[in-house]
């Protein structure tokens, strides 16, 4: 037995190809064992650019009806399933919307950030604009067809690079930042480019979903918008007794982001666990020991840095890693050392060289 929902998708121009792309993205994730969402084609009516699809939530047992499960790498680097009831996801969607809103999909719809956009489009009966793929160039090409954007601050910066000053001409009415911390600079730049747009930044975790949405134009979280929260002695934000893994500091009546508790590196929204990069280095090259860490970067927020001990040249190591790990996990800074510093307990010091 399956539970079926209707999803309206509005697509400009190349509608059959774009719907197929959305289906491919979702079905590929199912084939890879990363999600349980199937999108079954069934067209009941179509105009130039609107089609009706039935969205099937696949279940393995009757108890699974209405559940959505997607994989996430989370904060530990180990893939895990996060399950939520589709109706609960919809219930938490509080944003306003209208059928003429055209949301540009800038995230993988088989990940929670992208699925959140689909759920919002579904709940508000708005329209979805699907780019050729999720590369910045393709997203930039699709922007003239969209009025609403949900994207990471890093994707926003990339689009500025790709589009240049022409970005101001895009008909953006709503801009929602998520996936990374939205700095005051990002919010101010967006305001300058689209002074008429409504700009929101959302703080969410995969485990808890949306925690807080802010649209007052300032970075950070207003404390009055949070429920059941506390900051631990270490500075970690707890919500509903759940550890977010994020460190925040209180400044006046707001919380300002100050880093991650774990060592996870956030490269433009893509999470990289250092241990995976280190394991890949040792597997592909003559590396004795190594340490991956986050390097702050003006464009992507963070990029991966790597220190290693071994005979291979840095450029050769980078070339090998390009075939071994996702591009965003390839270190942007690679330094060969004679030895890595150790703590008193004999462990590689993770932060000493950051």
In the complex, the smallest distance separating the C-beta of residue 69 from other proteins, rounded to whole angstroms, is: 30
**102 is a site residue for other proteins (CB under 8 A):** no
**120 is a site residue for other proteins (CB under 8 A):** no
In the complex, the smallest distance separating the C-beta of residue 165 from other proteins, rounded to whole angstroms, is: 5
CA distance 93 to 71: 21
User: What's the N-to-C CA distance of the chain in angstroms?
Assistant: 53
CB 289, CB 309: distance < 8 Å: yes
Classify burial at 192, counting beta carbons within 10 Å of its beta carbon; exposed 0-12, middle 13-18, buried 19 or more: exposed
Binding mask 13-52 for other proteins (x = CB under 8 A): ----------------------------------------
Nearer CB in complex with other proteins: 37/264: 264
In the complex, the smallest distance separating the C-beta of residue 298 from other proteins, rounded to whole angstroms, is: 4
Main-chain phi, psi angles of 221, to 5 degrees: -115, 125
Look-up: residue for tokens 């399956």?
2
Q: Given candidates 23, 77, 162, 222, which one binds other proteins under the rule CB under 8 A? A: 162
Angle, alpha carbons 222-271-289 (nearest 5°)? 130
CA distance 42 to 44: 6
Nearer CB in complex with other proteins: 104/163: 163
**332 is a site residue for other proteins (CB under 8 A):** yes
CB 212, CB 226: distance < 8 Å: yes
**125 is a site residue for other proteins (CB under 8 A):** no
Which parts of this chain interact with other proteins (CB under 8 A)?
135-137, 154, 157-158, 160-165, 167, 183, 185-186, 189, 267-268, 295-300, 303, 315, 319, 327-328, 330, 332-333
């Amino acid at each position: 037995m399956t539970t079926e929902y209707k999803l309206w998708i509005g697509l400009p121009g190349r509608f059959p190809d774009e719907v197929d792309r959305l289906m491919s993205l979702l079905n590929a994730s199912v084939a890879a064992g990363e999600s349980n969402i199937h999108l079954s084609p069934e067209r009941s009516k179509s105009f130039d650019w609107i089609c009706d699809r039935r969205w099937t939530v696949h279940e393995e047992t009757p108890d699974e009806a209405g559940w959505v499960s997607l994989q996430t790498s989370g904060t530990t680097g180990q893939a895990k399933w996060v399950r939520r009831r589709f109706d609960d996801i919809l219930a938490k969607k509080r944003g306003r919307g209208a059928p003429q809103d055209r949301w540009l999909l800038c995230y993988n719809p088989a990940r929670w950030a992208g699925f959140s956009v689909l759920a919002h489009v579904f709940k508000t009966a708005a329209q979805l604009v699907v780019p050729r793929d999720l590369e910045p160039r393709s997203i930039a090409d699709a922007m003239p067809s969209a009025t609403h954007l949900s994207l990471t601050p890093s994707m926003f910066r990339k689009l500025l690079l790709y589009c240049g000053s022409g970005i101001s001409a895009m008909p953006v009415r709503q801009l929602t930042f998520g996936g990374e911390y939205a700095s005051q600079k990002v919010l101010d730049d967006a305001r300058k480019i689209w002074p008429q747009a409504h700009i929101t930044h959302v703080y969410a975790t995969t485990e808890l979903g949306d925690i807080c949405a802010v649209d007052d134009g300032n970075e950070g979280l207003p404390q009055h918008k949070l429920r059941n929260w506390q900051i631990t002695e270490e500075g970690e934000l707890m919500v509903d007794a759940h550890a977010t893994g994020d460190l925040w500091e209180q400044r006046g009546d707001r919380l300002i982001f100050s880093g991650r508790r774990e060592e996870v590196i956030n490269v433009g929204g893509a999470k990289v666990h250092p241990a995976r990069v280190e394991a890949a280095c040792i597997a592909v090259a003559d590396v004795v020991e190594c340490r991956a860490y986050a390097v702050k970067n003006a464009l992507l927020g963070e990029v991966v840095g790597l220190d290693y001990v071994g005979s291979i040249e840095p450029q050769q190591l980078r070339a090998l890693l390009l075939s071994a790990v996702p591009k965003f996990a390839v270190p942007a800074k690679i330094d060969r050392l004679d030895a890595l510093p150790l703590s008193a307990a004999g462990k590689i010091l993770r932060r000493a060289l950051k």
